[in-house]
Chain A
Amino acid sequence: GENVEQHPSTLSVQEGDSAVIKCTYSDSASNYFPWYKQELGKRPQLIIDIRSNVGEKKDQRIAVTLNKTAKHFSLHITETQPEDSAVYFCAALMYSGGGADGLTFGKGTHLIIQP
């Protein structure tokens, strides 16, 4: 099955600086890579995702890059703000034409934005 590794487990950055979280996956057949933000006791919120036919995707201050050859993808947050503080999870799965697939999550990164 799929295995997703996520680093670092904790990341502390100064407000206004950039933050980068990296993930690797094991199953070369995986083709969908979402990122979720989870605040304490709340549901994970999808913040950005990327599919294997795209190398980079950007949405305002958030961007995700994907290197299929190396099987790794990264989340980039620029101009960080206090409200960006949360736990971020990467995930991977393979969509198989409507078949039932569950996400495999990384272990999470606790992002702390220092004022």
Chain B
Amino acid sequence: GAVVSQHPSRVICKSGTSVKIECRSLDFQATTMFWYRQFPKQSLMLMATSNEGSKATYEQGVEKDKFLINHASLTLSTLTVTSAHPEDSSFYICSARVLMRSNEKLFFGSGTQLSVL
């Protein structure tokens, strides 16, 4: 499958700091990437859709000023958690749409475990 690289894999930070997570498509161009959040033993919840060259589309209930998304190139999307608080601690994971053999599929990055102290 297609390779989606996500960094860092784990972050521990103090409350009030900002954390940037990068999601890269390594062997393809991704005009659209998606950011999900997963709490322990729960399902993945879509946070926002990241579109190259335009503003991200946020799901209901997700604060766009707190979760800043930038998709400046066809291979990179970033999610910045601003002024992080303990309740933001979660597993954040990106995914990208890939066209494979005339079918579109979605592949996931390796995820980032964020722990806010």
Once the chains bind, are B43 and A106 in contact (CB under 8 Å)?
A: yes
User: Contact string, A91-115, partner B, CB cutoff 8 A, digits 1/0?
Assistant: 0000100001111111110000000
B110 close to A43 (CB less than 8 A): yes
B57 within 8 A of A: yes
**Given contact pairs A41-B113, A100-B51, A105 touches B106 in the complex (Cβ within 8 A):** no
Contact yes or no, B42 A107, CB < 8 A: yes
A46/B1 contact (C-beta < 8 A), A100-B49, A102-B49, A103-B106 known: yes
State the CA gap A51–B108 with chains docked (Å). Answer: 19
Verify A42–B110 contact, CB threshold 8 A: yes
The complex places the Cα of A41 from the Cα of B107 at a distance, in Å, of 16
Per-position contact with A for B26-50: 1 when CB-CB < 8 Å, else 0? Answer: 0000001010100000111110010
Give chain A nearest CB distance to B6 CB in angstroms: 8
| Bound-complex Cα distance A1 to B110 (A) | 27
**B20 on interface, CB distance cutoff 8 Å:** no
Count: A-B pairs, CB below 8 Å: 51
A89 CB-CB contact with B under 8 Å: yes
Say yes or no: B109 contacts A105, CB within 8 Å. no
A44 in contact with B51 (CB, 8 Å)? no
Instruction: Report A-chain residues with C-beta under 8 Å of the C-beta of B44.
Output: 44, 89, 103, 105
**B105 close to A34 (CB less than 8 A):** yes
A46 to B44, CA, bound (A): 14
Beyond A44-B44, A107-B42, is A34–B111 a contact (Cβ under 8 Å)? Answer: no
Max chain B C-beta neighbours (<10 A), residue from A32, A41, A43: A43
B residues touching A (Cβ–Cβ < 8 Å)? Answer: 1, 32, 34, 36, 42-46, 49, 51, 57, 59, 91, 93, 95, 103-111, 113
Chain A positions near chain B (C-beta within 8 angstroms): 32, 34, 36, 41-46, 49, 51, 89, 95, 100-108
